[in-house]
């Protein structure tokens, strides 16, 4: 342990601790901008490029960055000397001199860390005038927009993309005034191996990275008398939306969310959980077919579009391993425009399907040409949790005072298995609840598979089902996924089924969720809330959902039937690495 004194407060910290970390223990605030601590994935962005955290160390002539300077025995640090405070302010003023002054209409207005820091450090005017960077915005992606004019070279996106997700889209290029974080050769993001997971958007402190906003598009549809607008909401939305209105993380706001959507004028408000149950039916049937008929194992879940694009780019030799099931919201869109359309007597071409998702990759997924039926997209628009909150506020709805309402029918009913799709481990647990009973022909003695739960990056469990041993793998975060798949490719490990989610923690940490600022406790609360919701459900298994049973009886026939395949399954393709 090392003793260090910060602003006359002495603390003992382990060797290797930075001044910033020691200051946190001493409860001394040092402002930061580029620093990003990601304890959940054991990565820290401490390139010290912004120089906002400069402090004075006794005996040293120069100021040092607190985020990247390790403490030494008996070090004396001063964080609020005139020299340190002046240096921070000058650095911030220089950053602002090359930053667009469009705060009032910026997508990150009131949520921008640069804006907050300017307020904290008392910057009230642009002190330095001069040349400004001018880059055309990259709007090629269906998921997010890159505006390099607002890039402050914090390099957080570079760290999360390269080190955590191992996709490798971003890199710092050029020097001096021209330095910026960009894609290879400055090519549009759509031409890169980007998976559109949105983790870069989640960590960006400014509006250099923002989601493609579909709220205008949805409002126009709601006001079009020729459109019948149906909305569906993913499991992870109900445990995160409340945070946008001041509620604690993990507060379940399902009823208020439904009430808000109905007030906004949606013709039907449906639960994507129903389609999660449908996904379980198809995926469990596909798994059992492979087990009984010598099919390719392991089977990999295919609910996450960012993970799908990742393996199309990075592991094209394994394209026959993932399940061919569409993701739940795409299945739901297909069923809405066929089965539901017939039930309610509305022509499919008049139905406009909106998905509320925790994920930016769902925006890209909805535009994939493979995901159409009868030349119609399964889903017409995707909005994130943040965008839904924006629409609720814009509509003048007092969210906290809303009385709970229920989802509409005929496909609003769901099981507890479907709810846990929103957290890592939930998809495989939900699928096993059904697969186990189908394989054994007997009811499960236990519903919950606690060995599959948790937020660690890679997990595994061994289960005995119908006298057979099954090895289950779980990976969340694309870096962990790469590690697991490379071991499979090299024959180092064997699994029978693997669940993969692109975002660390799963959909509860999707790129469209309210910012958690790497507070892993918030993700744990969201995850626990989904499991609690599962426990409260009267039905806990997908195959016991009466609405699912009715859908197969009236329309699909049986899981993996020809009609089910035509509507609910897809295919994959090799994509080039650029």
Mean pLDDT of all residues in the chain? Answer: 93
Q: DSSP string of 145-193?
A: EE-GGG-----HHHHIIIIIS-----EEES-GGG-EEE-GGG--GGGS-
Q: DSSP string of 360-371?
A: SHHHHHHT-TTS
With contact defined as beta carbons under 8 Å apart, do 377 and 406 qualify? no
Element (H, E) at 10: strand 9-13
For residue 569, the cross-strand partners are 325
Give the Cα separation of 576 and 316 in Å (integer): 9
- Give Rg (Cα) of the chain: 25
**CB proximity list for 507: less than 8 A, separation 6 or greater:** 234, 235, 236, 304, 358, 359, 421, 422, 423, 501
> For residue 413, what are its two tokens?
């009913």
Say what the alpha-carbon torsion angle 320, 322, 323, 329 is, to the nearest 10 degrees. -130
Give the Cα separation of 433 and 541 in Å (integer): 6
Out of 133-142, 155-164, 461-470, 531-540, which region has the weakest mean confidence (pLDDT)?
Answer: 461-470
| Residue 477 maps to a domain | yes
Residue 503 is a catalytic residue? no
Cα torsion angle, 367, 373, 376, 381, sign: negative
User: What are the b/e assignments for 198-212, b being 16+ CB within 10 Å?
Assistant: bbbbbbbbbbbbbbb
- N-terminal to C-terminal alpha carbon distance within the chain: 47
Give the Cα separation of 363 and 213 in Å (integer): 10
| Residue 27 maps to a domain | yes
Are residues 464 and 564 both part of a single domain?
A: yes
Instruction: Report the pLDDT value the prediction gives residue 578, as an integer from 0 to 100.
Output: 64
Length of the chain: 578
Q: What separation in angstroms does the CA of 202 have from each of 165, 350, 515?
A: 13, 35, 6
The predicted-structure confidence for 61-111, as pLDDT tens digits, reads as follows 999 999 999 999 999 999 999 999 999 999 999 999 999 999 999 999 999
Are residues 187 and 40 both part of a single domain?
A: no
Are residues 331 and 465 both part of a single domain?
A: yes
Residue 394 is a catalytic residue? no
Cite the beta strand spans of 174-313 per DSSP E: 180-182, 209-211, 228-233, 268-271, 299-300
- The domain spanning residue 73 has which CATH number? 3.10.20.740
Residue 370 is a catalytic residue? yes
**CB proximity list for 491: less than 8 A, separation 6 or greater:** none
Which one of 49, 141, 192, 323 is the catalytic residue? 323
Which one of 303, 325, 436, 503 is the catalytic residue? 303
Q: DSSP string of 499-538?
A: EEESSTTSGGG-TTSPP-TT-HHHHHHHHHHHHHHHHH-S
| Residue 527 maps to a domain | yes
pTM: 0.93
Element (H, E) at 218: helix 215-222
| Residue 127 maps to a domain | no
Q: Which residue has the tokens 């096993």?
A: 432
Cα torsion angle, 460, 297, 299, 477, sign: positive
Which one of 21, 56, 282, 286 is the catalytic residue? 286
Residue 283 is a catalytic residue? yes
Average pLDDT rounded to a whole number, residues 211-237: 96
Q: What separation in angstroms does the CA of 284 have from each of 291, 310, 328, 541, 559?
A: 11, 23, 14, 12, 9
Average pLDDT rounded to a whole number, residues 260-287: 96
Which one of 370, 462, 486, 558 is the catalytic residue? 370
Domain that holds residue 418: 215-568
| Residue 111 maps to a domain | no
Element (H, E) at 96: helix 82-97
- The domain spanning residue 398 has which CATH number? 3.40.50.1780
Residue 161 is a catalytic residue? no
Are residues 361 and 443 both part of a single domain?
A: yes
Judged against a pLDDT cut of 80, whether residue 171 lies above it is answered with: yes
What is the maximum span of the chain, computed from C-alpha positions, in angstroms? 81
Query: Domain ends where: 167, 183, 212?
Result: 212
| Residue 113 maps to a domain | no
| Residue 276 maps to a domain | yes
Are residues 279 and 196 both part of a single domain?
A: no
Place 357 in a pLDDT band, splitting at 50, 70 and 90: very high
| Residue 107 maps to a domain | no
Give the Cα separation of 389 and 394 in Å (integer): 9
Percent of the chain with pLDDT over 90: 85
Which one of 365, 499, 524, 533 is the catalytic residue? 365
Which one of 283, 429, 499, 533 is the catalytic residue? 283
Supply the DSSP symbol for 243. G
Are residues 471 and 530 both part of a single domain?
A: yes
Instruction: List the one residue out of 449, 452, 406, 458 whose CA is nearest residue 541.
Output: 449
Are residues 230 and 190 both part of a single domain?
A: no
Indicate the number of domains in the chain.
3
Are residues 203 and 222 both part of a single domain?
A: no
Q: DSSP string of 27-89?
A: T-----SS-EEETTTTEEE----S-TTEEEETT-SS-EETTT-B--TTEEEESS-HHHHHHHH
Residue 323 is a catalytic residue? yes
Which one of 50, 154, 200, 507 is the catalytic residue? 507
Residue 330 is a catalytic residue? no
Are residues 167 and 245 both part of a single domain?
A: no
Are residues 174 and 230 both part of a single domain?
A: no
More confident site: 445 or 358: 358
Judged against a pLDDT cut of 80, whether residue 332 lies above it is answered with: yes
Query: Domain ends where: 95, 120, 147?
Result: 95
Judged against a pLDDT cut of 70, whether residue 321 lies above it is answered with: yes
Judged against a pLDDT cut of 90, whether residue 178 lies above it is answered with: no
**CB proximity list for 248: less than 8 A, separation 6 or greater:** 242, 525
Query: Domain ends where: 161, 181, 212?
Result: 212
Q: What separation in angstroms does the CA of 410 have from each of 220, 326, 341, 413?
A: 26, 21, 11, 8
Are residues 307 and 240 both part of a single domain?
A: yes
Which one of 326, 362, 525, 541 is the catalytic residue? 362
- The domain spanning residue 175 has which CATH number? 3.30.70.20
Judged against a pLDDT cut of 80, whether residue 17 lies above it is answered with: yes
Residue 67 is a catalytic residue? no
Judged against a pLDDT cut of 80, whether residue 303 lies above it is answered with: yes
Q: What separation in angstroms does the CA of 209 have from each of 199, 203, 310, 417?
A: 10, 9, 20, 34
Judged against a pLDDT cut of 80, whether residue 42 lies above it is answered with: no
Are residues 155 and 278 both part of a single domain?
A: no
Give the Cα separation of 58 and 78 in Å (integer): 8
Give the Cα separation of 127 and 217 in Å (integer): 40
Instruction: Report the pLDDT value the prediction gives residue 515, as an integer from 0 to 100.
Output: 87
Q: DSSP string of 309-344?
A: HHHHHH-GGGTTSB--BPPHHHHHHHHIIIIIHHHH
Instruction: List the one residue out of 278, 506, 301 whose CA is nearest residue 413.
Output: 278
């Amino acid at each position: 342990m090392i003793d260090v004194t910060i602003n006359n407060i002495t603390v003992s910290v382990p060797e290797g601790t930075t001044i910033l970390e020691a200051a946190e223990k001493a409860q001394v605030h040092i402002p930061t901008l580029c620093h990003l601590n990601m304890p959940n994935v054991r990565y820290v962005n401490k390139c010290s490029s912004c120089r906002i955290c400069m402090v004075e160390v006794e005996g040293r002539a120069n100021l040092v960055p607190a985020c990247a300077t390790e403490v030494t025995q008996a070090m004396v640090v001063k964080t609020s000397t005139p020299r340190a405070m002046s240096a921070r302010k000058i650095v911030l003023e220089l950053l602002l001199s090359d930053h667009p002054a469009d705060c009032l209409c910026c997508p990150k207005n009131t949520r921008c860390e640069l804006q907050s820091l300017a307020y904290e450090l008392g910057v009230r005017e642009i002190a330095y005038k001069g040349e400004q960077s001018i880059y055309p915005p990259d709007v090629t992606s269906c998921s997010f927009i890159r505006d390099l004019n607002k890039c402050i070279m914090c390099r957080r996106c570079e760290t999360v993309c390269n080190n955590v997700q191992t996709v490798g889209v971003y890199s710092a290029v050029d020097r001096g005034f021209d330095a910026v974080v960009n894609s290879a050769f400055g090519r549009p993001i759509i031409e890169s191996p980007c998976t559109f997971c949105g983790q870069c958007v989640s960590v960006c402190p400014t509006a250099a990275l923002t989601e493609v906003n579909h709220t205008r598009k949805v409002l126009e549809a709601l006001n079009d008398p020729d459109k019948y607008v149906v909305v569906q909401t993913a499991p992870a939305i109900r445990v995160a939306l409340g945070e946008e209105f001041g509620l604690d993380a993990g507060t379940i706001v399902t009823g208020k969310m439904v009430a808000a959507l109905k007030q906004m004028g949606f013709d039907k408000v449906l639960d994507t959980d129903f389609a999660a149950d449908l996904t379980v039916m198809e995926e469990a049937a596909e798994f059992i077919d492979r087990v009984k008929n010598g099919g390719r194992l392991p089977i990999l879940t295919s609910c996450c579009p960012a993970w799908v694009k990742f393996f199309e780019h990075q592991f094209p030799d394994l394209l026959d391993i993932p399940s061919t099931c569409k993701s739940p919201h795409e299945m739901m869109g297909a069923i809405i425009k066929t089965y539901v359309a017939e039930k309610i007597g509305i022509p499919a071409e008049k139905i406009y399907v909106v998905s509320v998702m925790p994920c930016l990759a769902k925006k890209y997924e909805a535009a994939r040409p493979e995901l159409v039926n009868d030349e119609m997209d399964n889903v017409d628009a995707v909005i994130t949790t943040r965008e839904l909150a924006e629409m609720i506020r814009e509509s003048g709805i007092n969210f906290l005072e809303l009385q709970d309402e229920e989802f509409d029918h005929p496909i609003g009913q769901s099981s507890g298995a479907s709810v846990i799709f929103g957290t890592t481990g939930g998809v495989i647990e939900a699928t096993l609840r059904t697969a186990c009973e189908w394989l054994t022909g007997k009811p499960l003695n236990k519903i919950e598979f606690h060995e599959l739960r948790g937020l660690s990056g890679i997990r595994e469990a061994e289960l005995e089902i119908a006298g057979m041993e099954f090895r289950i793998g779980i990976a969340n975060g694309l870096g962990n996924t790469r590690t697991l798949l490379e071991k499979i490719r090299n024959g180092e490990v064997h699994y029978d089924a693997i669940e993969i989610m692109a975002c660390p923690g799963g959909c509860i940490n999707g790129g469209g969720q309210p910012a958690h600022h790497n507070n892993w406790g918030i993700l744990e609360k969201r995850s626990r809330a989904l499991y609690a919701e599962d426990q409260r459900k009267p039905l806990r298994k997908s195959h016991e959902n009466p609405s699912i049973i009715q859908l197969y009886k009236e329309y699909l026939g049986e899981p993996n039937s020809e009609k089910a395949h035509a509507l609910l399954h897809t295919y994959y393709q090799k994509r080039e690495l650029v």
